[in-house]
Chains A and B, each alone.
Chain A
Amino acid sequence: MGKIVTDVVCPFCGTLCDDLEVKLSDDGKEILEVYNACAIGATKFLHSQASDRLLRPRMQQDDGTWKEVSYDEAVEYTARILADAKKPLMYGWSSTSCEAQEVGAGIGEMVGAVMDNTATVCHGPSLIALQDVGMPSCTLGEIKNRADRVLFWGCNPVHAHPRHMSRYSIFPRGFFTGKGSKSRKVIVVDPRCTDSSKMADVHLQIQQGHDYELLDALRVAFKGKELPDVVAGIPKEKIYEAAETLKSGRFSVIFFGMGVTHSLGKNHNIDEAIAVTRDLNDYTKAAIMPMRGHYNVTGSGQVWGWQFGFPFCLDLSRGFARYNPGETSSNDLLRRDEVDAVFVLGSDPGAHFPISSVKKIAKLPSVCIDPHITPTSAVCKLHVPVAFVGIEVGGCAYRMDNVPIETRKVIDPPEGVLTDEEFLSRVSDRVKELKGV
């Protein structure tokens, strides 16, 4: 018959769905099925059960082969490379709990590390823009209940946040949006006809890299001023129409993604998107929200925010917190050879950093803490498998709208496998001994 665990929180994307149901075997040791989750979320739960999962740490030998080591040896190696380094990079932190992030930041403070999270290749520019001009935002609950104009800019939620639309942004019937998708107008801005744009009422197929111009044109159109015939590949009539659609709503919301932060302009694109939101508030209620990727990247920004005052690119090497993206950001540090050890937890820079940065990681003393085998674990000297947060251990995570949600433990981790927090606590204790703190 099996046992059903309800109200499980999905540890995949920033939507952090909290209505999953997981069917376990009779002895409660195996996940059989996952209900309500999207395909990616369900795969994550089921992949934790893979028969070829790595269960013990392993060190890479000089010839490229791997040798199994104990957790004690892994703790010793990790503590030593961090304690011996002048300026280690501690990167990742997005696929783990806030509790583990807190312990990790403690280690970073002791060893004088540069701490960076995946925002650096994701919504880093959004954070810079937020600090520059502020951000009028709201929660996803407000959007579900109130938003009747939804604009997706440079994001493709159908593939990246599959349940975002059904839970919050397009389809749900909220308190003031009783007709569900019929009560909402959806606009998508994307250089491709994506599966999200196919669901929209209006698709503005923008010329790649011209987001700033189109955002600026929207502001001109709000004020009813004259526009050139074509802006960023979009005829002016369509821009006036989109501006009118946004203005005429009772509550407009802008979601934006990697299309804006990865393209040239970066934080300035977001500045302008925020300015559009601010202008819209002259006519109606409007809010803007970044589509955060990893399920707890928002949390790592929150944790470092309350500990040090900065959400990413955090340099603790001088004994106090400094923040200067471009100088203290992972890719810039790696490219300029400014770090002498690399520690990665809950992220995959091997796959997601430019190859020039990955080559630098491969040359340095390095450790990768991740339940999966990834391009990062393949180039690091030590790979430490850990329990899956949100599946095998609980912990706090922050949704993309900065709402904290406590994830649930569904099953026990395989015997002898440590959690992120346990491993980090042991590393922390050893670093204290080595540093005499």
Chain B
Amino acid sequence: MESGKEKPAYTEACGIIELDPEDIKKLGVWRNTNVRVTSEFGSVIVKAIEATQGPHPGLGWIPMGPWANQIICPKTYSTGMPTFKGTPVTVEVANDEQVLGSIELVTLACRSE
């Protein structure tokens, strides 16, 4: 975070989803494969890793950053605060797709409009 958000270390730290070992089994993937996470609000490719701070079956965790912000609920319910947590998502295997770096991810999303 403080060593440069344009660097690969940021992608490795935040371009991930931590899933419970049970959920990884259910998904039928190896650890560290790329997955597509989709919510009502968007979709993003991240790397699925085994929960480092688990167990928490049924709960996926993407660290705060541009990857999570592709899919979280932007509604603020008149508080100014988007609903960053508790967004229902589906996770599917996306072996052939790449996790984008933070700068690329955000600029591509902005240009696609």
Contacts and interface: CB of A to CB of B under 8 A. Distances in A.
A375 B55 contact: no
Contact of A332 (B59, B76, B83): B76
Given A262-B85, A351-B65, A373 B79 contact: no
Interface string B21-62: 000000000000000000001100000000101111001010
Contact of B80 (A120, A191, A208, A359): A120
B110 A362 contact: yes
Interface residues of A, number: 63
A125 B55 CA distance: 29
Contact of B79 (A197, A259, A325): A325
B65 A64 contact: no
A352 B106 CA distance: 11
A258 interface: yes
Contacts of A381: none
Given A208-B59, A351-B106, A47 B82 contact: no
Contacts of A261: 81
Given A43-B3, A194-B53, A351 B102 contact: yes
Nearest to B54: A193
A172 B42 CA distance: 45
Interface string A353-388: 111111100110000000011110011000000000
Nearest to B14: A351
B106 A372 contact: no
Interface SS majority for chain B: loop
Interface string B67-95: 00110111011111111111000000000
B66 A209 contact: no
Contacts, number: 161
A50 interface: yes
A407 interface: no
Given A47-B3, A373-B103, A378-B106, A352 B85 contact: no
A358 B69 contact: yes
Interface in A305-328: 312-313, 325-328
A23 interface: no
B27 to A, nearest CB: 19
Contacts of A124: 79-81
B83 A262 contact: yes
A152 to B, nearest CB: 14
B31 to A, nearest CB: 18
A258 B84 contact: yes
Contacts of A335: 74
B85 A263 contact: yes
A31 interface: no
A429 interface: no
Interface of B: 1-6, 41-42, 51, 53-56, 59, 61, 64-66, 69-70, 72-74, 76-86, 102-103, 105-107, 109-111, 113
Which 5 residue pairs spanning A and B have beta carbons closest together? A329-B80, A326-B78, A354-B74, A362-B110, A325-B80
Given A125-B79, A197-B53, A363-B110, 8 more contacts: A209-B85, A263-B86, A326-B77, A353-B69, A354-B69, A356-B41, A373-B4, A374-B102
